Amino acid sequence: MRRRLFPSVILLPLAAAHADDARAQEGSWTVVYLHPAGYLESEVLAATGSLQGGYASPDSNLGYARPILWKSPRTGLVDLLPEGWRRATIRGMSEGVQVGDIAGEEFNSQFGIVWHGSARDFVIMDPPPGYGSTYLSAVSGDVYVGYAGFRETGMSHAAIWRGTPESFVDLHHPSASWTEAYATDGEFQGGRAKIPRPVLQMHACLWRGTAESFVDMHPEGAKSSVIRGMAPGVQVGEALFDTRHRAVLWHGTPESVVVMSPEASYNSYLYATTGTIHVGYITRLGGCADAGYWTGDAPESFVSLTAHLDPGWDCAAARAISEHKGRLYVAGHASSPQGRTEAVVWISPKLKTTRPAEAP
C-alpha cells in the first residue's frame, strides 16, 4: 500500500463555467457547464451530494486525462492527480471518498485509487499476490468495487475491497471467463460476466460480497447485458435485444427485469439511479444521444434533459445522479457548439422525495 496524506482541499477557479436557467413543464432546471478552460474534453462519471467527479483531458490523448472533482453550482474544481503520475479518472463517489484508476509513466501500469478530496490524500490499491493490476469503479461507504487482472489467465476478476488493499476479495465465478464489477449499494455488487457456455455472451450479474453469491441476471432473449448502477433494491443498465440496446432495470432477481426503452427511442441506456429516479440517455433513429431521466418502473416516464441546454449544444448523456438539499444533480456530458465533449450538470427544482425502494 502506498499512501500520501496532507489534508488540504483547494477549490480552483473554473474559468469556463457558467450557469443558466432553463424552463420545462416540471419546473425550472439550472444547467452548469463544468468544462475547464484550456482543456479539449471533459466528462462527469460520478456524483455525490453537490459534488461531481470525472476527468478533463488537456489534449486529444486521453492517456493524459486528469481526475477532476467539481462542486456545483460553485464554479470551482479540484485536480486530484497526484504528483509523479501520468493520468487518472474518477469513476465512483461516496460522501468524502472518490475512487477510480490511475496510471504511471509506464503504459501498462494501472492501479485502483481512493482519494479523500485532495491530490495529496490518497491510497493506491496495490494488487494482491497473483494479480497484476487493479481498477475501481464504484464506492458506497467503505465498500469499493471493481476488478483486478488475474496473472494466470490474463483475465479480469471482479473484486471488492472494504477500506484497505489488504481486504481484497475476488468475486470471480468459475462459470465465467472474466468478470467485472461496476456498481455497489454497499451490500450488493453489480457488473457483468463473460459466459462461454452454451453461447458466448456478456451477462449482467449480481454478487453479495462473495464469489459464491454470484447471480446471473441476464434477461431472457437478450444477446448481452450489464449492470452499471445501483441503489438499495434497484439495479440499472442495458441489454442488447436483436440489434438494439435497451435500458433495463431489475429488483434483485433475473425475473424482475423491466425493459425501460421509451417507444420513441431506438437505443437506450441507464447508468445510475437513486432507487426511484434513473438516468442515462436514449437515441432516436438517425439522431444523437438525448440525456434524460426515468421515474419508477415506467418506460414512458423518460424526460429529456438535453432540451435544457443552451442553443448549439446537443448529443448529451447523463452518467450520474445525486441528491442534495432536496434537489437532484444529474451529471454527464454534452457536445458543445465547438464540437467538444464537455462536462455538464443539470440541477433540478426542489423535490418532495426520491427515497429508494427497499432492498431485495
Identify the domain containing residue 246 by its residue range.
Answer: 217-304
Q: How buried is 95 (Cβ within 10 angstroms: 0-12 exposed, 13-18 middle, 19+ buried)?
A: exposed
pLDDT tens for residues 203-220? Answer: 999 999 999 999 999 999
27-33 average pLDDT score: 87
Q: Cell triple for residue 134? A: 487493479
In a domain, 88, yes or no: no
Task: Give a yes or no: residue 86 inside a domain.
Answer: no
pLDDT of 68-80, one tens digit each?
A: 999 987 768 999 9
Q: Is the pLDDT of residue 110 over 70?
A: yes
- Closest C-alpha among 171, 165, 173, 174 to residue 184: 171
Mean pLDDT of 185-202: 93
CA distance 139 to 162: 10
Q: Is 1 part of any domain? A: no
- Does 163 reside within a domain? no
pLDDT tier for residue 5 given thresholds of 50, 70 and 90:
very low
Q: Is residue 191 domain-resident? A: no
Q: Is residue 257 part of a domain?
A: yes
Q: Is residue 281 part of a domain?
A: yes
Per-position DSSP letters for 294-323, written without gaps between them: EETT-GGG-EESGGGSPTT-EEEEEEEEEE
Share of the chain above pLDDT 90, in %: 81
Summarize the confidence of residues 83-106 as an average pLDDT: 93
Question: Helices then strands (H, E): number in the chain?
Answer: 0, 31
| 354 has pLDDT over 90 | no
CA distances from 329 to 44, 216, 264 (A): 11, 31, 25
pLDDT in tens, 324-345: 999 999 999 999 999 999 999 9
In a domain, 170, yes or no: no
Please provide residue 139's backbone torsions phi and psi, each rounded to the nearest 5 degrees. Answer: -145, 145
pLDDT on residue 63: 67
How many domains does the chain contain in total?
Answer: 1
